[in-house]
Each structure stands twice: as C-alpha cells, then as structure tokens.
Amino acid sequence: MNPGRAAQTVYTMWLREMIRFSRSKSRIIGALVTPLFFLIILGTGFSSAFQVRGGGTFDKSYLAPGLIGMSVLFASLMGGVSIIWDREFGFLKEILIAPVSRFFVSLGKAIGGVTTAMIQGILIMIIARLIGVQYVSFWGVLAGICVMFISGIGFIGLGIAIASKIESHEGFQMVMSFLTMPLVLLSGAFFPITNLPGWLKILVYANPLTYGVEALRYFLLGKSTISIWLSIAVLVIFSIAMISLGGKLFGKMRV
C-alpha cells in the first residue's frame, strides 16, 4: 500500500470520528459532568472531612490529575463502540473490502478516538483551573497534554481490541463497566498510593492508569510518588503493546 493512500485512509477515519464526536452533544456533556462532579462535590467533601498527615486540610487540586486521567480513560475505551456501530450499520464491511490495509483503518480510528479523549481531558483541565486548581507552569500543562496522548493511545488500543472480539453493544458496555471502575479506583486518582497495604500496592502498581495519573500529577502539580521516567516508560510500553494488539485483532475481525 503506497504512503499516500495509507495517509488518506488514516485521515478519512480520523475525520469521521471527529464528525461523529461533534454531533454527539450528550456524549460531550456526559464526559464532562462526571469528572466535574467528583472534583467539585468530592473535593469539597474531602476538604471539609479529612485532614492530611502532619496537619492541614485536603487540597482538592490533588484530585484534578486523577480526574483528567479518568476522563481520558473513559473516552478512549468508549472509542471502541464506534467499531461495533460501524459493523452493525454495514459501514465497516464497505471500508474493509476496499483495497486499503486494515491496520491503517484501525490507526485512523485510534487517532480519532484519542483526539476526542484529549479534547475532553483538556476541557477538564481548563475548568479545573477556572475553579482554583493551580498548575506549576505552562510547559507542565503542555507536557500533561502529551501524557494524555500517550495514555489515550494505549487505552483506545485496548478498546479497539475488545470491540474487535465483541459483537454487541450490551457485551461491550458490560466489559467496560467491569474494567473502568477498578482501573480508576486503583490508580491513586482519589487517594495517595503511599502507605497502602502490600496486596493493594501490587494492584495499584500493575495498573497502567496509575502511571498516567502520576505523570499528570508531576507535570501539573510538581509532585509525584512514582519517578516520572518510570511513569513515561510504562506508558510508552503499554501504548505500543495495546495499539499493536488492537491493530492485530482488528485485522482478524469478521464483519
């Protein structure tokens, strides 16, 4: 397949995901409301109910990186739904019988999915800043956006892999419900990951979202429990592995 046709395939699939996202107002609102609910309601509740070790009150800024990571996770994984929709309505069969590589079709969908995830993550970042969350620097914000992209690529790859093996919306939603909450709760989005019981630390450190949240926390707030280099390394390896897996399973998918 020549490079020009490959690039056109990726662009076409990306543009289709962007148009679909722009027309789905309920999807945008829903993706923003949940993290904002946690940031405003949960943050205020924590601030009034808990004290941090050594004195002082809970800083709701601590929640912002975790909620941004949660938003990227949800949006990226749900990007796999588009594959099920396209398969049900026959679009996928039409595009896959064309003389184009399935890998570039899946790559275009992945880039489209991660773009929508980044848009939602950036909106959460902006709103958090407007309600008082202080970021360390402009360059830190840019680095945080790069972290969103890397982690988003990994989770959209996972979403594509799952959607390639599941044929119904109901089955996909069930798997997503089974995955998303444990990933979020075990990522340190809502609590520090230091001083955890040994068995819980194993689960937390085995969770790829943990490294995304910690990297965001480092770049946006200037502090992190995990080394930033370890976080970036894990995210890159996870993203490469998942996008490869997603492309492979998508290539073998029956339509």
Q: What phi, psi does 3 have (nearest 5°)?
A: -60, -35
The C-alpha atoms of residue 230 and residue 249 are separated, in whole angstroms, by 28
Summarize pLDDT for 136-194 with one digit per residue, the tens: 989 999 999 999 999 999 998 888 888 888 777 777 778 887 888 888 888 888 777 88
Summarize pLDDT for 199-216 with one digit per residue, the tens: 888 999 999 999 999 999
Summarize pLDDT for 4-62 with one digit per residue, the tens: 767 777 787 888 778 777 777 666 676 667 666 766 666 665 555 555 555 455 566 77
| Average pLDDT, integer, range 102-126 | 83
Q: What is the pLDDT of residue 144?
A: 93
Note whether 243 and 157 are within 8 A (CB).
yes
Six-digit token pair at 89?
A: 């309505």
Question: For the chain, what percent of residues have pLDDT higher than 90?
Answer: 20
Note whether 76 and 110 are within 8 A (CB).
no
Is the predicted pLDDT of residue 112 greater than 70, yes or no?
Answer: yes
Strand ranges, E, within 49-174: none
Residue in this structure with the two tokens 């809970």, named with its chain if needed? 58
Is the predicted pLDDT of residue 96 greater than 70, yes or no?
Answer: no
What is the end-to-end Cα distance of the chain in Å, rounded? 22
Q: Place 231 in a pLDDT band, splitting at 50, 70 and 90.
A: very high
Question: Which carries the bigger pLDDT value, residue 3 or residue 197?
Answer: 197
CA dihedral for 8, 9, 14, 15, sign (positive or negative): positive
Name which of 52, 44, 71, 91 is nearest 216 in CA terms: 71
| Average pLDDT, integer, range 81-107 | 72
